[in-house]
Chain A
Amino acid sequence: MPELLYLDTARLGRMSPGAAAAHRDFVALAGDEGGGLYFDRFLANGFRDCPDTFPTRYPGLATWRGAGGLKADLRALAGCAADSPLLLASRSSALMRFAARLLFHPCRNVLATDLDWPPYKAILAAEAAAAARTLTEVPLREGVFSGRLTESDLIDMVCDRFAEAKCDGLYLTAVNNLGVRFPVERVVRRLEAAHTVRIVVVDAAQEFCHVPHSLRPESCDLYLAGAHKWLRGYHPLGMAFYGRRQSRGRVQTVLAHSVRSGEIDDPLLRFTARLESGTDEHVSETVNLTPLFSTNGALADAGNSAGAWRTRMRNLEAAAATLFGVGWKPLLAAREFRSGILLVRAERPKIQAADSDSLRAALREAGIAATTYPGGLARLSMPSDSWHPGELEHLGRAFKLLA
């Protein structure tokens, strides 16, 4: 039986073995070489121009082929075209602020839903207010969790609201923090067939490396993801994929302006934006490159996402069945909305009234790492491997203890 059953991937994934090895060896390399010549060569091209001893001394970094190689692998993982650009940032919120700027450059009224991550929604609302534009929200959460909405109903509701409110921009969350999978591709296709949708931004922080290709990044103008959640790179690394024909130039122009004007102050984003635009503008700030190496290491562990997805869904049903009889009620949306995140609510009012931090601490004491919310809610991220022997029993016991 494991000492800790880590089911908090949706918050901050536990560092994958490959990421951990890359991190360790990067620290060793930094300790040996500092910022010397070999480090620069390694950063640019991997071990190609370094002494022959490097691969054996730092095996965790063997897959590093430079920033270009990392981007190529991330593109392939996201299902993007090989020539599509990719932005990397040390803070996801910097990318979200950029996304909000991009949306409200040409849009008068952006449609969002109540499934979006509240801090990101706040960024969007602040930009809407600053630009004197409108942010229209469609309430869906209650309908999804009560089972009242089917996928078709949800699509109708979103599209009808878009037309009714005369919206012209879209901000959608592919999988939200509570595990609701949103039919982004179908909504975007239908809206674009009937209306002019000036910009589409998709928050895929919980989708990337979790749900297999539910959306082609080419279907939206900006696809936001992160390497520190389901990819398990651990060190925060925000990503933004783009490259749609109609908006590629616009993203690059707005980005270049935002970097020049200092609106974007994320050093890694400035660094990668500079690489992307090919300008040789001097970057005065020293950039923390650790997330790049840990992400590169994690990529080696990113397995077959379709297989992992099927396993996660099996694990979800098994976990829901286990917790059902021990004083916790799984909140299962209709099958088409489900993801590898299971939301459970305590049945006892005393637990529901408990402080979410205390509940999280109690779960940790009982050997479960999970995210908790007020109202006695716990969010469990399903592992990509089948439950190991004893794990489900451990889960059931831990939750029963707290019920």
Chain B
Amino acid sequence: MTTRPPHPRPVVLFSFRFLGTALVGSLVTALVASFGPLSAQIATIGAFVSILGGLFLSYLEQEEERDRRRSDAIERLAVPLCLAPEDDLYPLYLSYCRTLTALAEQTDPMLREIAALKLASVNAQIESLAAGTVVFAGTETWRAVYEQLLAGGSVREYRSVAWLRSRNYWQDAPGRQSMRANFEAVHRRVLIERIAILPDADWPTDTELPADPIRSWLQEQHDHGLHLVLVRESAVRGEPDLLADFGIYGDRAVGTQEVDEHSRTVRFTLTFDPRVVPLADDRWRRLSIFGIPFQSLLATPPA
């Protein structure tokens, strides 16, 4: 490959602007010197020097303005420059820019007001994502992410706490689908341990095993190789912070599920922040103290 030699810079002395201006100025000065008195000559030279000084100061001011504009432009470019290598985010950024530019052309004040409100909400969500937290409110779509986490291969260990406030817990179609994802993960060598917090009504203190359908739900998990530990709700009533429904995905993320009285998801919060994992881990360990391994209950012969 050949490179073209740099274009030679023209010599300023031969430029028309320089030569024309110098010739006109010299001619005027020569005429004044030939025909005018000394005072006129001095006044002419003074005028020329003043004009030159004014031009120089104007140039400096313009140069300062140009510098400021250049800095502003570079600063604006910094965001796209930082995002440019992010293949998943950069196209979205461009799309937002285009959309916002299009929105800026809309002039209806009502529309602009609504747009501002909605964009503020979107901004809040993006800020939450940037902090590592995803919130799914009033939807079961979180399960897709949940299953992806279990199937992805990077999570080798999943510890979950299931707080069963009703017998319908994870018994609907999305719940069963998630449970199948658990089974598949175990067979792909993901270690799954689950603490189930059970209402005393479904696991009275005078019975070895919980009542159906919870017992069958637990048995199926046990048979697939999950390690289960059961906790009576009454046992942890004194420590309300332990009554929760959460999962620890390796050392990567923590998910917290909030359900209504029918065990439908109200909110699922997934936090990808390594700092929250030890906190959840501590909660898990405290809860374990109150637990009985399900397998030890199975080992006991029926009375």
Q: Do A and B bind each other?
A: yes
Contact A131 B187 (CB under 8 A): no
A195: nearest chain-B partner, CB-CB: B293
In the bound complex, CA of A346 to CA of B244 (Å)? 67
The listed residue (B189, B219, B222) touching A131 by CB distance below 8 A is B189
Point out the residues of chain A lying under 8 angstroms from B191, CB to CB.
Answer: 106, 108, 131, 133
Contact B225 A250 (CB under 8 A): yes
Q: How many residues of B contact A (CB 8 A)?
A: 19
Asked if A395 is an interface residue, CB under 8 A from chain B, the answer is: no
In the bound complex, CA of A253 to CA of B184 (Å)? 12
Interface residues on A, range: 20 to 34
Contact A249 B222 (CB under 8 A): yes
Asked if B129 is an interface residue, CB under 8 A from chain A, the answer is: no
Point out the residues of chain B lying under 8 angstroms from A131, CB to CB.
Answer: 156, 189, 191
A251: nearest chain-B partner, CB-CB: B223
Contact A253 B224 (CB under 8 A): yes
In the bound complex, CA of A102 to CA of B222 (Å)? 12
Contact A246 B223 (CB under 8 A): no
In the bound complex, CA of A246 to CA of B222 (Å)? 9
Asked if B186 is an interface residue, CB under 8 A from chain A, the answer is: yes
Q: B72-96: which have CB < 8 Å to A?
A: none
Asked if A4 is an interface residue, CB under 8 A from chain B, the answer is: no
Contact B186 A245 (CB under 8 A): no
B219: nearest chain-A partner, CB-CB: A249
Instruction: Write the B207-247 contact mask toward A (1 if CB under 8 angstroms, else 0).
Output: 00000000000010011111100000000000000000000
In the bound complex, CA of A246 to CA of B292 (Å)? 14
B292: nearest chain-A partner, CB-CB: A196
Asked if A105 is an interface residue, CB under 8 A from chain B, the answer is: yes
Point out the residues of chain A lying under 8 angstroms from B293, CB to CB.
Answer: 196
Contact B299 A198 (CB under 8 A): no
Q: A200-258: which have CB < 8 Å to B?
A: 244-247, 249-250, 252-254, 257
In the bound complex, CA of A254 to CA of B221 (Å)? 11
In the bound complex, CA of A246 to CA of B226 (Å)? 13
In the bound complex, CA of A246 to CA of B193 (Å)? 16
Q: A108-144: which have CB < 8 Å to B?
A: 108, 130-133
Contact B225 A254 (CB under 8 A): yes
The listed residue (A108, A244, A252) touching B223 by CB distance below 8 A is A252
Contact B189 A198 (CB under 8 A): no
Contact A249 B299 (CB under 8 A): no
Asked if A261 is an interface residue, CB under 8 A from chain B, the answer is: yes
Point out the residues of chain B lying under 8 angstroms from A106, CB to CB.
Answer: 191, 193, 225-227
B226: min CB distance to chain A, Å: 7
Interface centre among B156, B187, B225 (most CB of A within 10 A): B225
Contact A249 B223 (CB under 8 A): yes
In the bound complex, CA of A150 to CA of B109 (Å)? 91
Asked if B276 is an interface residue, CB under 8 A from chain A, the answer is: no
8 closest Cβ pairs, A-B complex = A105-B225, A246-B298, A131-B189, A249-B223, A253-B223, A106-B227, A246-B299, A246-B295
Contact B227 A198 (CB under 8 A): yes
In the bound complex, CA of A198 to CA of B186 (Å)? 15
Asked if B301 is an interface residue, CB under 8 A from chain A, the answer is: yes
For the residues of A in contact with B, the DSSP-based class is: loop
In the bound complex, CA of A102 to CA of B225 (Å)? 8
Asked if A104 is an interface residue, CB under 8 A from chain B, the answer is: yes
Point out the residues of chain A lying under 8 angstroms from B225, CB to CB.
Answer: 102, 105-106, 250, 253-254
Contact B301 A245 (CB under 8 A): yes
In the bound complex, CA of A245 to CA of B300 (Å)? 8
Asked if B34 is an interface residue, CB under 8 A from chain A, the answer is: no
Contact A196 B223 (CB under 8 A): no
In the bound complex, CA of A104 to CA of B191 (Å)? 8
A397: min CB distance to chain B, Å: 55
In the bound complex, CA of A245 to CA of B294 (Å)? 12
Contact A130 B223 (CB under 8 A): no
Contact B189 A250 (CB under 8 A): no
Instruction: Write the A95-109 contact mask toward B (1 if CB under 8 angstroms, else 0).
Output: 000000010111010
Instruction: Write the B250-263 contact mask toward A (1 if CB under 8 angstroms, else 0).
Output: 00000000000000
A-B contact pairs, 29 of them (CB 8 A): A104-B189, A105-B224, A105-B225, A106-B191, A106-B225, A106-B226, A106-B227, A131-B156, A131-B189, A131-B191, A132-B189, A133-B191, A198-B295, A244-B299, A245-B298, A245-B301, A246-B295, A246-B299, A249-B223, A250-B222, A250-B223, A250-B224, A250-B225, A252-B223, A253-B225, A254-B187, A254-B224, A257-B187, A261-B187
A177: min CB distance to chain B, Å: 29
Asked if B296 is an interface residue, CB under 8 A from chain A, the answer is: yes
Point out the residues of chain A lying under 8 angstroms from B186, CB to CB.
Answer: 105
Point out the residues of chain B lying under 8 angstroms from A253, CB to CB.
Answer: 223-225
